[in-house]
Structure 1
Amino acid sequence: MNRFDLIVVGGGPGGIFAAITAAQRGFKVALLEKNKRIGNKILVAGSGKCNLTHIGKPKDFLTKYGTNGKFLKEALNKYSPESLKEFFKESGLPLTLVEESGKYFPETFSSLDVVNLLRGKMLNLKVEIIENLKIEKIEKTLDEFKVNTDLGTYLCKSLVLATGGKSYPGTGTTGDGYVMAKELGHKIIPPKPALTPIYVKDYIFQELSGISFQDVEIIIWKDNKKVIEKRGPVLLTHTNFSGPGILDNSRYVENGSFLEINYIDKDYESLNRELIDETNRDGKKAIKRVLLKYFLPERFVKTVLNRIDIDENLKLAELSKEKRESLAKYLTSNRMEITKVGSFEMAMVTRGGVSLDEVNPKTMESKKVKNLYLVGEILDIDGDTGGYNIQAACSMGVLAGKSMKKEERE
């Protein structure tokens, strides 16, 4: 029978770093992966270029995980972005900063290079990597775990669940870990897609796919209450709003939510007053020409004017008060009913998962089951786009690997 000090279930960043850290401490480690190869989620990160982390200190990172960021304080302080960069540098694959985005990538901009490096690291540490197997059941006896699979039974003193969530199911993250965690006694916060596009009722920008706004105000409303207000890039697509600013805010969307965008970086009163003043100065100017002064894309301006039923060649002096106010409101506080967010197939991460109340943030050990550790996306925590989720998973994995007690070994 296969017996180990630690079995890690899941070959994503959290599981891999837990395995590496424990193996470095001398533990006998096995990593079980249901896919034919480890690292599938890493391979799709950053569109194959592998955005591993982001610029900033741990305290900056804590603001990037919605309301649950404080849970990661210990993990990020013990294994910071600097620590992750140092790991790759020492391993022969330095990370490079893309300054305009604040993102760090491997210098080769290749996810495959990252996966190959991590596999090599584990093999050098004698981690047993077992791929293409199906876990049928995990049982906890008095002092060990029994992992029943289609390839046989494995026993261990400590177990790490690092199975990921439900996003990108094509990579193998189909929610299996939630079943395992629940059977071991954990509460699961219902999983939902996060980091997804947002769909709205009566979307009018179908013909403007590819137009983007680099830094605009985005608000999510529910029951006429402001849920979140953030700034970020917005991308118009054929069917929805996307871009990092939209993706990051998608985690706050519930049934009955509204999306509000300010395209022009001015409040309603300021823009309305400026249009009045411009009319008084030169009422013969065409409204389209005036709006282009605000650095709005011309096709966008035409679409908005058409929506409000304003002729683009209409002179300012001919613009009624009602139309002017409607225009100012649309550009500064366009509030739209959200019909849905993208599916798990589109989502970059999963919102929901194992309740954080049941996991010790100082060790990543379960409060319910001794020697069970949970790391990464299986937990009810999700970060903004830009490397925050991989960094969190790596940090949690390292913390779990460091937290295993030496006396637990055979």
Structure 2
Amino acid sequence: MVAADASRREFLMMTGAAGVASAMLGHSSASAQQAGGEGWGDAVIVNALGGLSNPNVIRNDVDSAIQRGVRRRRQLDERTLADAHASGLTAVNCTLGYVAGEGDPFEVSVSDIANYDQMIRAQSGDLVKVLTAADILNAKRDRKIGIIYGFQNGAPIGDDLARVDVFADLGVRIIQLTYNPANKIGDGSMAPQNRGLTEFGRQVLERLNQNRVMVDLSHSGQNTCLEAARLSRQPISISHTGCRALTDLPRNKTDEELRLVAEKGGFVGIYFMPFLDMDGSVMAADIVRHIEHAVNVCGEDHVGIGTDGPVTHIDDLEAYRERLAEEVAFRRRTGIGAAGEGPNTLPFALDLRGPTQFHRLAQLLQERGHSRTRIEKILGTNFVRHARNVWGA
């Protein structure tokens, strides 16, 4: 979910509930360290779509940021960094650039890349830009958080295929072909026609393959997903989704889509979003259920996690709900919303959030009888394998 050009998580970072308490920083970090003590501290954890933000920080410039379709990247605060480290997170695909709203998509995206570059330089002791699969493993070794640059819409490419080259040269490693509506590349999950790729979209797909940029089919319509998976010369990903066989909503993927992506050597990340339950009240058990279904369809070598959220805990849930209702209304007005989201649906599982979420998920899977090797694959090594196949070592 996205507000203007920013990802949902960036929106909530800008407009979240007030009151960051130093006591909460100590509490959340201690909790995550305790979870790491359960035996998963050495695991490589890659969030195939997430973010680093503090949803408890107020940003006064949110209205103008939405209107302009631009945002300014500031340094991450101490709590965000502490929680990310304590959670065991190794790397995360962060949404950069234009997704929807005002502003020139290309200019907004290039500016955002520059802002991220500046942020990583300023906080190089904690963060590192990921360009290869080896960078993820090196981040784990060096106790840093790897930042993977990703787009959630191919709109910044415009009509110019050469822009794919530009973005690849700037370090963008993942490009999602569509958001929920249709664009010049193909139909999104909420486009009623459910067409496949356009002719231009096929050319974009080929150019992405040439540049070894990971093709992401999250948010795509079914026929767009199937056609892209068949045509791509490299394995593709669905970084954040659920299983439509379990919850029949457009943002989730059918078994046909999941199976084809896996057969082509790709990667599927399961999110922690309300689309995992028809009522929108997602719990940890729902996430486990969708992961298990994806493993049954795709095999254990092709499934991971893409939470679509940060790791920092929300202090004031009621204030958060108010801001969330504002965002859902905005998304409806601008036509970028999806079936299954609403003012009363939370974009996370109430019993699986905060810095303990990854280790707690591992524990739940272990209790269900999954082997340590399989759990480590789901937590991150499947994504590393996929990245190595696409980006190189």
TM range (shorter): under 0.3
Considering Cα pairs closer than 8 Å and 6+ residues apart, tell me whether 1 or 2 has the greater RCO.
Answer: 1
TM-score (norm 2): 0.25
| Max Rg structure | 1
Q: Could you state the TM-score of these two structures normalised by the residue count of structure 1?
A: 0.25
- More helix, by proportion: 2
Structure (1/2) with the larger strand percentage: 1
